[in-house]
Amino acid sequence: MYVTYMSAHIEPRSVDSYLSGICSGLESYFPHVREARKSRLVSRTLRGCKRRYSQPVSRAQPMSVDDLGTIHDALHSSTSHDDKLFLALVFTGFYALMRLGELVHSDNPVLRDPRKLTLRDNVTYHRSHYQFTLPTHKADLFESNSILIRAQSNRPDPVRVFTSYISSRDALAGFRPQLWLREDGSVPTREWFMRRLRRFRPKLTGHSMRCGGTTFLAMTGVTPENIRRMGRWSSNAWEIYVRKHPVILQAFVFGGQATGDPTAA
């Protein structure tokens, strides 16, 4: 009855998770509670509720290389510091498979953590690449991670975008420790970033850069292990970010259209 009632009000996939949590809480008092959870009646009831009430999973639309080109064409010649900042954030998020929360502040001041902000002192850049240290990330809160983005020769170059931003940033606020800063000296927020992003494609979300970059790497023939490491995933969860049919991916990688592994030295 619990499964049927809850599934009529919330997503049945969440009910499945709730049952696991309930079992964990009751197991010390009722050692056989998981047997009841796995019973045929409960399992079939939950399966039926998923068929009747579940809604399709809504996933972020991936940002494409064409989207990057459109944004680059619109902003790369701008003298506005905030335009340079936005462009650098987009290119960094796409090519480094970064979560938006790793680049900008939360809109809720209570959730902001200065320890998660990337610092200017951790940045190095050359003509071939730029690199900085990511203080913390979801998969590992105890070790820093190095983000490295290489130059691109056959499409808008993220290194040039970044160096244009960093020159502007150092001229405006060279004494400030944070890497990503707006013209007024504040750290960009999610709302600020999304408002600008949706001027180009209204359906893009904060995850669009990460899933678009993952799809791009898969289509250029980067190995699954390298994609996992670049995106700092602890498992194969990155595969849900690839927004191309496996047959299409295979055609790109093995049909002569792969451009090589961008992670190669």
Is pLDDT above 60 for 264? Answer: no
Average pLDDT of the chain, as a whole number: 84
Distance CA 198, CA 260 (A): 31
- Indicate the pLDDT class of residue 260, thresholds 50, 70 and 90: very low
Query: Residue 198's pLDDT is what?
Result: 93
**Do 181 and 172 meet the contact criterion of CB atoms below 8 Å apart?**
yes
CATH code: domain 65-254 is 1.10.443.10
Is pLDDT above 90 for 10? Answer: no
**Do 130 and 149 meet the contact criterion of CB atoms below 8 Å apart?**
yes
- Indicate the pLDDT class of residue 141, thresholds 50, 70 and 90: very low
Q: pTM to 2 decimals?
A: 0.72
Within the chain, which residue ranges are assigned CATH 1.10.443.10? Answer: 65-254
Query: Residue 38's pLDDT is what?
Result: 86
Is pLDDT above 80 for 60? Answer: no
Is pLDDT above 90 for 131? Answer: yes
**Do 67 and 155 meet the contact criterion of CB atoms below 8 Å apart?**
no
Distance CA 227, CA 103 (A): 19
Least confidently predicted of 83-87, 187-191, 247-251: 247-251
- Indicate the pLDDT class of residue 259, thresholds 50, 70 and 90: very low
In the beta sheet, which residues pair with residue 134?
A: 145
Is pLDDT above 70 for 107? Answer: yes
Mean pLDDT on 88-113: 93
The 3-class secondary structure across the chain, one letter per residue, is CHHHHHHCCCCHHHHHHHHHHHHHHHCCCCCCHHHHHCCHHHHHHHHHHHHHHCCCCCCCCCCCHHHHHHHHHHHCCCCCHHHHHHHHHHHHHHHCCCCHHHCCECCCHHHCCHHHCCEHHHCEECCCEEEEEECCECCECCCCEEEEEECCCCCCCHHHHHHHHHHHHHHHHCCCCECCCCCCCCCCEHHHHHHHHCCCCCCCCCCHHHHHHHHHHHHCCCCHHHHHHHCCCCCHHHHHHCCCCHHHHHHHHHCCCCCCCCCCC
Other CB atoms within a 10 A radius of the CB of residue 210 amount to: 24
Measured in whole angstroms, how far is the alpha carbon of residue 53 from the centre of its chain? 29
Mean pLDDT on 169-189: 94
Query: Residue 143's pLDDT is what?
Result: 46
Model confidence pLDDT, tens digit, residues 17-28: 888 888 888 888
Distance CA 8, CA 203 (A): 29
Q: Which residue has the tokens 């001229």?
A: 171
Query: Residue 193's pLDDT is what?
Result: 97
